[in-house]
Chains A and B, each alone.
Chain A
Amino acid sequence: MNELLRKLRMLFHRKQFENELDEELRHHLAMKAENQPGGAGELPFGNVALLKEESREVWTFVFWEQLAQDIRYGIRSMAASRLFTAMAVLSLALGIGANTTIYSVIDAVLLRALPVRQPEELVILNFRSKGDVPLVRSHWGSNYDVPGGGRVSPNLPYPALQLLNENNTVLTGLFGHAAASRLNLVVGGQAELGQGRYVSGDYFTVLGITPATGRLIGREDDQPGAPPVVVLTHDYWRSRFGADPSVQGRTVQINGKAFTIAGVAAPGFFGVSPDEKPSVFLPISTLGLVEVQRTATNFMTDDHYYWIELMGRRKPGVTLAQAETQLAGVFHNYVTDVAKTERERSDLPVLSLQPGGSGVDALRREYSKPLWVLMGMVGLILLIACANIANLLLARAASRRREMAVRLSLGAGRFRIVRQLLTESLMLALFGAVAGIGLAAAGIPLLISLMTNGVDEFTVKVGLDWHVLGFTLLVAVTTGVLFGLAPAIQATRVDVTPALKESRASGTGSRRHRLGLRQILVISQIALSLLLVVSASLFVRSLSRLHSVELGFNSENILLFNLDAGRAGYSKTGAKQLYANLERRFQGLPGVRAATTSDLPVVGGWASTTGITVPGIPQPPEGQRGPSTSVAEVGSTFFETMQLPVILGRAFQQQDGPGAAPVAVVNEVFAKKYFPGQNPIGRTFKLGGGDDNAMNVRIVGMARNARYNSLKREIPPVTYVPWAQTPDTRRLNEMFFELRTSSDALSLANTVRQIVHQAAPQVPVADITTQTRRIERTIHQERAFALLCAAFGGLALLMACVGLYGSMAYGVARRTSEIGIRMALGAQRRGVVWMVLREVLLLSIAGLAIGLAAVWQTTGVLKSLLFELKPTDPLALMASIVLLFLSALFAGYVPARRAARIDPMAALRHE
């Protein structure tokens, strides 16, 4: 029989054990008394209770039994002070809930790995350069400047894929992929827009994705001339085909071309960009088939066209740095071969690798900073909550001094009592965590819809998985120890004898002139909440600045939507025809006061910029940026419809059509920049720099400055041209329609859909919204941020006030008799109020001073998130300080008044 079994048996014979031990000790005493007659009572037998306890401990699972005991005791003491428990659990729930919510998003957006085989082996191939790379004649994709200089882009030329695939010793596989422009998907006569990805033949094998049904794209599909096949994502298969198992072999029309469905990808697989929600995967070789307008050059052989994104899988044992060295060498030889001129050699792209386990990082770059800032804020809120509860616990510890003294004098070890108090704190924290998880479950969808402004583009699955719950547990335990340890230690630092002699009601001697733990906690709470309130007011101020930006046109009551006839198979001429016809139809529609079109949404985050040649302005030397303008191709009624005033010359007219001389309207910035001090009307310039689509236009009008693509950016020089006059070779795919309505714009949405469907059934109406909402969407991040920060700032303020109130109220309660004596001795009520408020004032001022120093140190990180606002904006600072100060005074005034109401007789009799 081993020890554990014996122990277990003991559990079931507890009573017997106790009795036997008792009897044995009685026997011992009796024997002792017999053999040493006369002094039995004085014989040292030590502490019988302790002896029994220790004898028993040998047998038991001490740790667990004591834990169970502590938990039972904790529940009893929680039940005994319900208000305290409720307050503590509530503030913890808010703190932990906020942390869990933000963390779940961080986890999903910034930390989570792709749902593929061994994601940690994946690497993303980028190129770095000093600036614009002369070698790159055409770039489809994105780039971003890195701090410390230089630029990074994920887009590479297609020949590099083949070259790196054949000449690497560090990867087990390499694949290429590229985002498709929005695709027009027609299944069974029903048109729909969807996202897609072009993928190379090795895409699925390298990632280790299996088909849910059918087969996936392989090398044989990614060949020029191979029959076009498409792989559906699981989600799309379910939503569009009802998870039909016999879908393989059916046909989907993609931008008017027939594709055979090869199969369906594994459930949950969304590609390698967590922010995308593609419907289909297409072989790269079909790019030319699907997107004619993108493939002016030969995209599979051009060494100067940078567009494809590459990802590889490292061989086991090969480090990122080793892989980078090898691949960068191959790439360097390649670009050195391609570079022909000195200028091209001046800034050759350098291949660099980054870990690809979480996929491509566009989303991460956009959200990482705001999310970490939010995480910091909720972390501070939790700290305030901790300080709050520590404060309450300190107050309780003081009122439990007698209990502690009794227990210590009965022989309880200090460690044992600290442990028991800590158990109570941890229980509070865990209750808080459970409630917090409940709050988070409600908060996560709210946060997501706030972050995305209800736009269904955010496909990252945010939720409470074990990852997040583990984090919550960790936070709960940390907070429990954090707010529990100091009060627990202080509680057991009791001098037993005086504490036992104390009456129940009276507290410790006054120590108000010393800076106790209590005061330090209040000061730090005020300091922390100042930090949060300042951040909140900064973001709110920033948002209101964005809202008060003058648009330059009237955005009210405009219905906005777009059509893309080119994608549905229309020729350029046919598309223009359709757009013109529809524009006329809408102009005559009842309820529509004016209607127009534009090739991009105004203030919609889109921009189209092109070089110009202006007579009299010399072209800059090669390699430098020449004069340029932003362009909007618009319908002839654009200025009237948008109510954008043309302040000089004329607006467009019906006769500015295809046959007539090309005209343009420029904005004030344009006129001032390129025709300073002159009348721009009648001038001509060449629009389109050096490329084939350039055309000479004559300025017929000057429009007032209006925001072009963003509220946050300076108004650029803008040239408006009628799209009817632009050459067919220019990029003209989508067309945005703007309908100025006489009442609620969205009420016309269905009518519009019907009209479009009658005129062109294959052309879906996309992005139907109002102009105001479209503009809102460009600042949704700022709006979400301001809202969240305001909420968090308010929460912090509330918690700090509750903390201050609790601390002062407790102080007043403890000093009831002192105040009673003072009043009996003639102290005025006003004096009593002042006595309490003085402490509040001192604590607040100290807290605000420290908080201000912290603000000075830290708000610099917010700079890039603010719109035309310094992080030390005096108005935001002043407002926050005043708000916090007044709230603190209010929180302190309530206990102060209670102190003044103390009846001296009652207070003294109480003693």
Chain B
Amino acid sequence: MGTRPDIPSGTLHMLILRTLARLGSMHGYGIAQHIQQTSDDVLQVEEGSLYPALQRMLLKGWVVADWRQSENNRRARFYQLTPEGRKQLTQELHDFDRVISAITRVIEAV
């Protein structure tokens, strides 16, 4: 296994929010898996960052959590976006787009 690039700082929240926006509701492990698979194994979310990040988002009120049966009949905590979380996602996506296109311009400028 080669080294994986780290998830750029500041984007973890956005990735989680985007994942939840797509999946509706999901538990922590599912979120991590989804990010990893969608990114073709480039981005791997460490548990050490994932769970503190989820707690922070709960505190901010961007997500809510409830306990449900998971697909294989285990009790798991499922996270779901709140309207505030959706707003936050839009904001972060917007900011991210601007930054990325700015970076691209810088890199491609001759």
- Where the two chains meet, the residues of A that have a C-beta atom closer than 8 Å to any C-beta of B are 1-3, 6-7, 20-21, 23-25, 27-28, 30-32, 34-35, 45-47, 50-51, 54-59
B86 CB to closest chain A CB (Å) equals 17
Residues of chain B whose beta carbon lies under 8 Å from any beta carbon of chain A: 27-29, 33, 46-48, 51-52, 54-56, 58-61, 67, 70, 72, 74-77
9 residue pairs of the A-B complex, CB under 8 angstroms, read A3-B59, A6-B58, A21-B51, A23-B75, A24-B51, A27-B28, A34-B72, A58-B55, A59-B59
Q: Which of A6, A30, A51 contacts B52 (CB 8 A)?
A: A51
Which residues in B have their C-beta under 8 angstroms from that of A31? 29, 70, 74
Do B74 and A25 touch across chains, with their CB atoms under 8 A apart?
A: no
B29, B59, B61: the one within 8 Å of A28 (CB): B29
Alpha-carbon separation in the docked complex, A28 to B51 (Å): 10
Q: By CB atoms of chain B within 10 A, which of A21, A23, A58 has the most?
A: A58
B27 to A58, Cβ gap below 8 A? no
**For residue B74, which residues in chain A have a CB less than 8 angstroms away from its CB?**
27, 30-31
How far is B28's CA from A30's CA once the two chains are assembled, in angstroms? 12
Query: CB-CB < 8 A to B27: which residues of A?
Result: 24, 27
Report the minimum CB–CB distance from B4 to chain A (whole Å).
Answer: 12
Give the residue name and chain of the B residue nearest to A57 (CB).
B52
Asked if B51 and A47 make an inter-chain contact with CB atoms under 8 angstroms apart, the answer reads no
A residues within 8 A CB of B46? 46
Q: Which residue from chain B places its CB closest to the CB of A50 in the assembled complex?
A: B48
Inside 8 A of A30's CB, which chain B residues have their CB?
74
List the count of A-B residue pairs having beta carbons below 8 Å apart.
64
What residues on A are CB-neighbors of B75 within 8 Å? 23, 27
Please report the C-alpha to C-alpha distance between residue A890 and residue B54 in the assembled complex, in whole angstroms. 65
Q: How far is the CA of A56 from the CA of B56 in the complex (A)?
A: 9
The one of B47, B58, B61, B72 in contact with A46, judged by C-beta atoms closer than 8 angstroms, is B47
Q: Does A25 lie within 8 Å of B47, measured CB to CB?
A: yes
Q: Are A47 and B29 in contact (CB under 8 A)?
A: no
Q: Is the beta-carbon distance between A58 and B59 smaller than 8 angstroms?
A: yes
Residue of B nearest to A35 (CB): B33
Docked complex Cα distance between A47 and B70 (Å): 26
A2, B59: Cα distance in complex, Å: 8
| Inter-chain contacts of B67 with A (CB < 8 A) | 20
Classify the interface of chain A: helix, strand, loop or mixed. Answer: helix
Give the residue of A28, A47, A58 whose beta carbon is less than 8 angstroms from that of B28: A28
* Apart from A55-B52, A58-B52: 5 A-B pairs, beta carbons within 8 A: A24-B27, A24-B28, A24-B77, A31-B70, A59-B59
Q: Are B47 and A45 in contact (CB under 8 A)?
A: yes
Are A27 and B70 within 8 A (Cβ)?
A: yes
Task: Say yes or no: A27-B29 contact (C-beta < 8 A), given A51-B47, A58-B59, A59-B59.
Answer: yes
What distance in Å separates the Cβ of A765 from its nearest Cβ neighbour in chain B?
A: 81
Please give me the residue from chain A that is nearest to B32 by CB atom: A28
Note all chain B residues with C-beta closer than 8 A to A46.
46-48
Q: Is the CB of B55 within 8 A of A55?
A: yes
Q: Which residues of A contact B72 (CB under 8 A)?
A: 34
Determine the distance from Cα of A1 to Cα of B59 in the docked complex, in whole angstroms: 10
Q: Which residues of the partner chain A approach B61 to less than 8 Å between Cβ atoms? A: 1-3, 6
Residues of B within 8 A of A50 (CB): 48
Residues of B within 8 A of A25 (CB): 47, 51
A-side contacts of B55, CB under 8 Å: 55-56, 58-59
Give the distance in Å from the alpha carbon of A843 to the alpha carbon of B33 in the complex: 66
Asked if A58 contacts B56 (CB within 8 A), the reply is yes
CA of A30 to CA of B58, assembled, Å? 23
Q: How far is the CB of A53 from chain B (nearest CB, A)?
A: 9
* A27-B76 CB under 8 A given contacts A6-B59, A7-B59, A55-B55: yes
**Cβ contact within 8 Å between A3 and B48:** no
Query: In the complex, what residues of A have CB within 8 A of residue B48's CB?
Result: 46-47, 50-51, 54
Residues of B within 8 A of A28 (CB): 28-29, 47
CA distance A838 to B46 in the complex (A): 59
* B56 partner residues in chain A, CB cutoff 8 A: 58
- Closest Cβ of chain B: how far from A480's Cβ, in Å? 33
